[in-house]
């Protein structure tokens, strides 16, 4: 089979971070195949894709597209050669319709659109041709993430690309959305598209890809046919040692109640009650898993607990103290730590240094002070410890956080919050975007915190993660705490039942 893309000895060094992001990368992608790229956080996957899409220039090496050596100076050049890329962070215009977003910039393209009707028809046909159903008239700002992604893919297909780069497309999808999405990829490949698919989820890679290339520290470790490899082998290739996928933990020894939530309700800005009379407790030394299909009140609950959203009714007590009306900082000072779901917009300040980011919110903490002032030496060694302990690739104490790879940004937030000696730790999607080795490490850290007596709430759409970490599980459905599970009750079947609004008694009957 002919090759769609060939990388010939691509190297890329970032002087600002002193990182060799790509080192002598050579491999080929066949026409019409789904080719996955895996590797640890910071391995250089996104950089390589940015080079292929004309966003970054390689220091040395060449790229062949359909057998022809190409030099790209901007994405425009790459698109002209039939290459499209969907980034992890979407670039849509919220106030425009689906049609307008898809045709943005190519309105007077080779199809010679003359009016809105023709544009609409074109988008409709495109959507049908590729089996990617959308409503051409809908305003994009109102669409859920899964559909936004579809718009982004159609935007590329409208430009008649034949090679699609998808950088961690499934990281933003719920488990329910992943299956149909992978099906879509297969349909696209069957229709002649060549797909480069980046993912940390190795099962997905085996399910959907024809071949997979593993990268490590900027270099290619090897390319395998997915038929001839296993999750275990891929993980070992990525991390350089065997990865343990099960979480090793002793039964919890819960102590005093740390968090007490009583009859808590939240009304969102649109006037809808998104959390309804939720009551539960979390004790020191236990992990309380919060499960549910996303959009069923998890976000409201976490926001209310952290002080980001007001409770309309009910109360929140932290170690007996009523914090229902306290602001974010007051709660933080009382020992509440929070790893937010949206690390880019909520968790970090990308333009500042690692040191500043790991101090964010804790500047008043006595640990970092000598008399009245922040002690630079203590602050720097704190930052250095987090970088070392969490193996934050490409990071330095005074380096910019925005230059880190996606997964490594997540590690900075986790490091900051987990080392803050919290009483209550709320982690929302703690391992989203992390590589398998880092997931293993973060899970270990959470268990370690639990055993040191921290009360922990884990919110995750990954059922596996809830199952392997939780000592108790609460399931939210339509804003109601549908049920709680302990011990042997905690399994996929019971959680699934509560997630769709069922009750436990039905299973026992
Ligand atoms: N614009 C940049 N300037 C400086 N350094 C950068 C830049 N972009 C990436 N890097 C560095 O290059 C390395 C590779 O980053 P890249 O984003 O390619 O990793 P990745 O494999 O996509 O990781 P992840 O799985 O976390 O997304 C990282 O150490 C990162 O800090
Ligand atoms: Mg990346």
- List the single range of 285-299, 335-349, 388-402 with lowest mean pLDDT: 335-349
User: With bands split at pLDDT 50, 70 and 90, how would you rate the model's confidence at 108?
Assistant: low
User: With bands split at pLDDT 50, 70 and 90, how would you rate the model's confidence at 109?
Assistant: low
- List the single range of 142-151, 343-352, 448-457, 500-509 with lowest mean pLDDT: 500-509
pLDDT in tens, 118-140: 889 999 999 988 888 899 999 98
pLDDT in tens, 263-277: 999 998 888 999 999
CA 44 / ligand 2 centre spacing (Å): 7
Give 91 or 193, the one with higher predicted confidence.
Answer: 193
Residue with CA closest to ligand 1 atom 3: 403
Residue of 7, 12, 16, 17 to mutate, ligand 1, most atoms within 8 A of C-beta: 17
Residue with CA closest to ligand 1 atom 28: 42
- List the single range of 28-37, 70-79, 222-231, 371-380 with lowest mean pLDDT: 371-380
**Domains parsed from the chain with CATH numbers:** 3-239 (3.40.50.300), 250-279+306-336 (no CATH), 343-425 (no CATH), 466-509 (no CATH)
Residue of 18, 38, 39, 47 to mutate, ligand 1, most atoms within 8 A of C-beta: 47
CA 229 / ligand 2 centre spacing (Å): 23
- What is the number of the ligand 1 atom nearest to the C-alpha of 47? 18
pLDDT for 112 beyond 80: no
- What is the number of the ligand 1 atom nearest to the C-alpha of 405? 17
Closest CA to 406 of 393, 424, 420, 390: 393
How is residue 304 annotated by DSSP? H
| Residue with tokens 């880190």, as numbered in its chain | 404
CB-CB contact of 397 with 387 (8 Å):
yes
Residue with CA closest to ligand 1 atom 27: 406
| Residue with tokens 């959009």, as numbered in its chain | 295
Closest CA to 458 of 373, 353, 337: 337
Helices 145-158, 175-190: crossing angle, 10 deg rounding:
20
Closest CA to 241 of 251, 233, 230: 233
Q: Which residues line ligand 1 (CB under 6 A)?
A: 14, 16-17, 19, 21, 39, 41-47, 393-394, 403-408
Residue with CA closest to ligand 1 atom 12: 21
Tell me what pLDDT residue 242 has: 85
Tell me what pLDDT residue 367 has: 82
pLDDT in tens, 415-446: 999 999 999 999 999 998 889 988 998 999 99
CB-CB contact of 38 with 202 (8 Å):
yes
How large is the average pLDDT for residues 169-175? 83
* This prediction's pTM: 0.88
At 98, list the tokens: 């689906």
pLDDT in tens, 75-101: 999 999 999 999 877 788 888 999 999
Arithmetic mean of pLDDT over the chain: 91
User: With bands split at pLDDT 50, 70 and 90, how would you rate the model's confidence at 111?
Assistant: low
Pairing of β 273-283 and β 257-267: antiparallel
- What is the number of the ligand 1 atom nearest to the C-alpha of 218? 14
CA 160 / ligand 2 centre spacing (Å): 25
Ligand showing the shortest atom-to-Cα distance for residue 438: 1
Closest CA to 40 of 434, 495, 499: 434
CA 425 / ligand 1 centre spacing (Å): 28
Residue of 7, 14, 55 to mutate, ligand 1, most atoms within 8 A of C-beta: 14
Pairing of β 455-459 and β 424-428: parallel
User: With bands split at pLDDT 50, 70 and 90, how would you rate the model's confidence at 406?
Assistant: confident
CB-CB contact of 506 with 498 (8 Å):
no
pLDDT for 107 beyond 80: no
Tell me what pLDDT residue 509 has: 45
CB-CB contact of 442 with 415 (8 Å):
no
Cα separations in angstroms, 202 against 180, 196, 214, 409: 17, 15, 11, 21
CA 56 / ligand 1 centre spacing (Å): 12
User: With bands split at pLDDT 50, 70 and 90, how would you rate the model's confidence at 143?
Assistant: confident
Residue 258: Cβ within 10 Å count: 26
At 93, list the tokens: 């215009």
User: With bands split at pLDDT 50, 70 and 90, how would you rate the model's confidence at 321?
Assistant: very high
- What is the number of the ligand 1 atom nearest to the C-alpha of 44? 18
Ligand showing the shortest atom-to-Cα distance for residue 410: 1
- What is the number of the ligand 1 atom nearest to the C-alpha of 168? 27
In 238-327, beta strands by DSSP E: 257-267, 273-283, 287-291, 313-318, 321-322
Cα separations in angstroms, 161 against 80, 87, 106, 194, 455: 8, 15, 13, 9, 50
pLDDT in tens, 460-475: 988 889 999 999 999 9
């Amino acid at each position: 089979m002919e090759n769609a893309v060939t990388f010939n000895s691509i190297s890329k060094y970032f002087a600002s971070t002193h990182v060799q992001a790509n080192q002598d990368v050579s491999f080929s992608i066949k026409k019409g195949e789904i080719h996955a790229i895996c590797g640890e956080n910071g391995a250089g996957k996104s950089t390589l894709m940015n080079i292929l899409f004309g966003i970054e220039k390689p220091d040395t090496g060449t790229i062949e597209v359909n057998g022809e050596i190409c030099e790209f100076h901007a994405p425009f050049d790459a698109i002209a050669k039939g290459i499209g890329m969907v980034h992890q962070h979407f670039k849509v215009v919220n106030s425009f319709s689906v049609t307008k977003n898809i045709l943005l910039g190519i309105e007077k393209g080779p199809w010679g659109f003359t009016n809105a009707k023709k544009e609409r028809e074109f988008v409709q046909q495109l959507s049908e041709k590729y089996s990617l159903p959308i409503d051409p008239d809908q305003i994009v700002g109102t669409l859920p993430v899964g559909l936004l992604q579809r718009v982004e893919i159609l935007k590329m297909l409208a430009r008649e690309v034949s090679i699609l780069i998808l950088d961690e497309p499934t990281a933003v999808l719920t488990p329910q959305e992943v299956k149909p999405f992978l099906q879509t990829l297969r349909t696209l490949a069957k229709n002649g598209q060549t797909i480069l698919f980046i993912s940390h989820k190795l099962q997905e890679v085996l399910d959907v890809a024809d071949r997979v290339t593993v990268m490590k520290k900027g270099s290619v470790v090897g390319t395998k046919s997915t038929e001839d490899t296993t999750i275990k082998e891929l993980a070992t290739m990525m991390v350089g040692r065997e990865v343990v996928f099960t979480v090793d933990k002793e039964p919890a020894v819960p102590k005093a109640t740390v968090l007490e939530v009583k009859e808590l309700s939240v009304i969102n800005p649109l006037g809808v009650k998104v959390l309804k009379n939720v009551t539960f407790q979390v004790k020191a030394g236990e992990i309380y898993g919060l499960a549910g299909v996303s959009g069923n009140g998890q976000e409201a609950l976490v926001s209310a607990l952290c002080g980001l959203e007001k409770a309309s009714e009910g109360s929140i007590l932290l170690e007996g103290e009523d914090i229902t009306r306290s602001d974010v900082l007051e709660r933080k000072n009382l020992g509440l730590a929070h790893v937010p779901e949206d690390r880019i917009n909520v968790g970090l300040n990308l333009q500042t240094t690692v040191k500043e980011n790991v101090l964010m919110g804790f500047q008043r903490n006595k640990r970092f002070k000598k008399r009245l002032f922040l002690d630079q030496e203590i602050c720097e060694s704190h930052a250095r410890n987090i970088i070392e302990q969490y193996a934050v690739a490409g990071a330095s104490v005074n380096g910019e956080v925005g230059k880190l790879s996606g997964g490594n940004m997540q590690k900075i937030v986790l490091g900051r919050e987990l080392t803050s000696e919290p009483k209550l730790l709320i982690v929302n999607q703690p391992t989203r975007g992390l590589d398998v080795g880092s997931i293993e490490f973060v899970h270990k850290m959470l268990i370690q915190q639990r055993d040191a007596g921290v009360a922990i709430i884990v919110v995750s759409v990954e059922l596996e993660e809830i199952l392997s970490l939780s000592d108790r599980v609460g399931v939210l459905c339509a804003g109601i705490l549908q049920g709680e599970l302990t011990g042997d009750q905690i399994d996929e079947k019971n959680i699934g039942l509560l997630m769709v609004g069922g009750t436990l008694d039905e299973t026992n009957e």
